């Protein structure tokens, strides 16, 4: 009887030993969650205080919101657009961000060879999107009009200046609406304009702005990245200790960057790019234009320089911008 009891006890102990051994086995490792990666190419510098900086910061903010890794290559020549994108594709990047319509030909070329990579083009045309290309299109008409409203209210000489980088459709639209909106406020106003043929030639920006100042321009607006930074330097030099010539910044809020900056027209590049990142994650990317406007807050009025624009004028700007959003401005 004692032997049977010992035998039974041994069986129970062995059983518990087997169960303990089984429970001690490591659980299979969970599959690692994919980390998505986005890279930006840019022909201007990300420290240009203008377009390049705004687009880079927009990418960083959009990526942070969705947990993506980022990379960039800036200050590249047009001849290097395609090869730079190809390098990122070969490194396994999920999305290439091209911040300008000037990259469209290179994007179309590379996207055809890398159908599994997403390509997002800021200011890309409505005809550009394919299965792996999306355009992000801020409302250039509204951007130019907001700047024109400020210029129309602020100009004392009735001459306003516009400097463009390249003769892109979006830039030409900004110029046209800059002038027409200003003339709604003040029919006597005329715009003087020039194109630098570059987005990075700071010296050219200084030269063009100085020439326009000599023509009497006292309010400036630009669409030329680092060229605009040069223009603001020339404006500050012309002003000396008293600001009589002002600049309207874009695409980020440039208040405080230069003494001449009176206000900015801000484009929320991060908001539009985040829509593209989400679509890339979800497998719904492609064949779409993401629009940015006053209506969805991807275009908006930046901060006022209280020393340059008085409270009454600020209120008028806000009123006219609201009319622009409502579709009643100029009616």
pLDDT, tens digit (0-9, with 9 covering 90-100), for 259-272: 999 999 999 999 99
Per-residue pLDDT tens for 73-97? 999 999 999 999 999 999 999 999 9
Domains, the chain, with CATH or none: 37-139+269-292 (3.40.50.2300), 140-266+300-326 (3.40.50.2300)
Residue 3 has pLDDT above 50, yes or no: no
Per-residue tokens: 128:
């550009």
Return the pLDDT at 12: 39
Per-residue pLDDT tens for 42-63? 998 999 878 899 999 999 999 9
Q: What band does 22 get if pLDDT is binned at 50, 70 and 90?
A: very low
Distance (Å, whole) CA 139 – CA 147: 13
| Residue 236 DSSP code | H
Q: Are strands 261-267 and 95-98 parallel, antiparallel or unpaired?
A: unpaired
Per-residue pLDDT tens for 213-256? 999 999 999 999 889 999 999 999 999 999 999 999 999 999 99
- Token pair 């459709």 in the structure block, residue: 169
Return the pLDDT at 27: 54
What integer is the mean pLDDT of 299-305?
97
Return the pLDDT at 182: 98
Return the pLDDT at 159: 98
With a threshold of 0.85, does the pTM exceed it? no
What integer is the mean pLDDT of 127-148?
97
Distance (Å, whole) CA 53 – CA 63: 15
Residue 10 has pLDDT above 60, yes or no: no
Helix axes of 226-239 and 51-66: crossing angle, nearest 10 degrees: 130
Share of the chain above pLDDT 70, in %: 91
Return the pLDDT at 50: 82
Q: Would you say 319 and 153 are in contact if contact means Cβ atoms under 8 Å apart? A: no
Residue 15 has pLDDT above 80, yes or no: no
Distance (Å, whole) CA 247 – CA 328: 26
Instruction: Give the three-state DSSP class for 55.
Output: helix
Return the pLDDT at 20: 44
Range with the lowest mean pLDDT among 18-22, 145-149, 310-314? Answer: 18-22
Kindly report the average pLDDT of the chain as a whole number: 91
Distance (Å, whole) CA 107 – CA 7: 78
CA 258: distance to chain centroid? 21
Return the pLDDT at 2: 41
Q: What band does 31 get if pLDDT is binned at 50, 70 and 90?
A: low
Residues 6+ apart with CB under 8 A from 171: 140, 164, 165, 195, 223
Residues 6+ apart with CB under 8 A from 18: none
Residue 318 has pLDDT above 80, yes or no: yes
Q: Would you say 129 and 286 are in contact if contact means Cβ atoms under 8 Å apart? A: yes
Q: What single string gives the DSSP state of each residue in 184-216? A: HH-TT-EEEEEE-S-SS-HHHHHHHHHHHHHTT
Per-residue tokens: 100:
């300008």
Q: Would you say 137 and 295 are in contact if contact means Cβ atoms under 8 Å apart? A: no
């Amino acid at each position: 009887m004692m032997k049977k009891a010992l035998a039974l006890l041994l069986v129970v102990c062995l059983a518990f030993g087997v169960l303990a051994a089984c429970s001690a086995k490591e659980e299979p490792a969970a599959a690692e969650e994919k980390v998505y990666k986005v890279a930006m190419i840019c022909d201007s510098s990300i420290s240009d205080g203008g377009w390049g900086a705004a687009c880079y910061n927009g990418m960083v903010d959009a990526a942070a919101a969705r947990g993506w890794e980022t990379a960039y290559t800036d200050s590249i020549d047009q001849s290097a657009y395609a090869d730079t994108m190809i390098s990122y594709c070969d490194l396994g990047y999920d999305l290439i961000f091209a911040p300008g319509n000037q990259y469209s030909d290179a994007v179309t070329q590379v996207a055809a060879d890398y159908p599994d990579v997403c390509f997002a083009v800021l200011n890309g045309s409505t005809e550009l999107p394919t299965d792996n290309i999306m355009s992000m299109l801020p409302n250039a008409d509204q951007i130019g009009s907001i700047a024109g409203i400020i210029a129309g209210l602020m100009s004392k000489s009735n001459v306003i200046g516009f400097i463009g980088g390249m003769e892109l459709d979006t830039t030409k639209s900004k110029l046209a609406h800059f002038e027409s909106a200003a003339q709604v406020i003040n029919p006597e106003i005329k715009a003087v304009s020039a194109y630098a043929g570059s987005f990075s030639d700071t010296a050219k920006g200084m030269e063009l702005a100085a020439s326009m100042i000599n023509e009497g321009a006292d309010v400036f607006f630009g669409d030329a990245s680092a060229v605009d930074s040069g223009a603001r330097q020339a404006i500050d030099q012309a002003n000396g200790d008293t600001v009589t010539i002002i600049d309207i910044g874009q695409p980020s809020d440039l208040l405080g960057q230069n003494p001449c900056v009176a206000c900015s027209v801000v484009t929320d590049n991060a908001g539009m790019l985040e829509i593209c990142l989400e679509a890339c994650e979800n497998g719904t990317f492609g064949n779409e234009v993401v629009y940015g406007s006053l209506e969805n807050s991807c275009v908006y009025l930046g901060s006022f320089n209280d020393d340059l624009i008085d409270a009454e004028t600020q209120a008028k700007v806000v009123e006219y911008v609201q009319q622009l959003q409502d579709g009643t401005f100029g009616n």
